[in-house]
Structure 1
Amino acid sequence: MKSRIALLAALFAALPVMAEEVGCVTTAWKLIGANHRVCVYAFDDPKIPGVTCHFSQAKTGGVKGTFGLAEDPSQFSLACRQIGPISLPAKLSKDEIVFSEDTSLMFKETSIHRSFDEKRNVLIYLAISRKIIEGAPANAISTVPVQPWGTR
């Protein structure tokens, strides 16, 4: 029983985090269904305490958007910041997905990857949106220098 609980805990720890919606702004009013919007989300890096990322993403409205059938455009922005002391784990993966979200019913996703530039002591967050069928994904980047935090 304990091994099952440990296995489930490890599986959930390996999953990308869920983002918290901070707010949305209407970009186009729709007569029927939800309006087109740009929404801002926040999430704390699950393995790096002291780092929070905010990203904005365009959301398609209308009837299809209301029922989750619309494909959201590949338009987003990303900003990650140090918000407290950063504690790097002993082993940090070269490329790890820290957030992932489907942006269409079929084959399109937005994901945020974290890597570490050891030489410069900088965390790098890369957001990409891609379809399995297409190449050249839309992307955005944000960096967080690992610096001392406070003197407490």
Structure 2
Amino acid sequence: MGTDFIAGIVSSAWAYPVLEVLHLAGVALLLGNLLLLELRVFGWGATLPVRDLARLALTLAVVGFGLAAVSGLLMFAAQAAELIANRAFTCKMLLLLAAACNAGWFHGRASLDKLDALARVQMALSTLIWLAVLGCGRWIAYL
């Protein structure tokens, strides 16, 4: 990524706010679809085939994650030094690692096929981690 491009983000009156909106839209798409799948795992909407719902929800969640990741990386590039020194940002990055590990665990043990108590714990943990990511993301501006 060129320094001229990043300088353009920093100097623009609208680029960073647009990135923030895209970032939040991506997070909403991600978290909203994970919550939908979690409700199904917990037994709500039991008439909906879990595999079909998971295919749709996880596809949209991945799109949301991609949007959040790209916009987040651009925002990070625009103020890397400040963010690296920010405790809330560090906490957010650690929580993202925890979310990735939890997702890997969930899919690695084929929890969607089992829908057992551990699958429900993993889904609840995922939601709690992502809510904490949201909290840290908002807190970045205040530290």
Shorter-chain TM range is under 0.3
Looking at secondary structure, tell me which structure has more helix per residue: 2
TM-score (norm 2): 0.24
TM-score (norm 1): 0.23
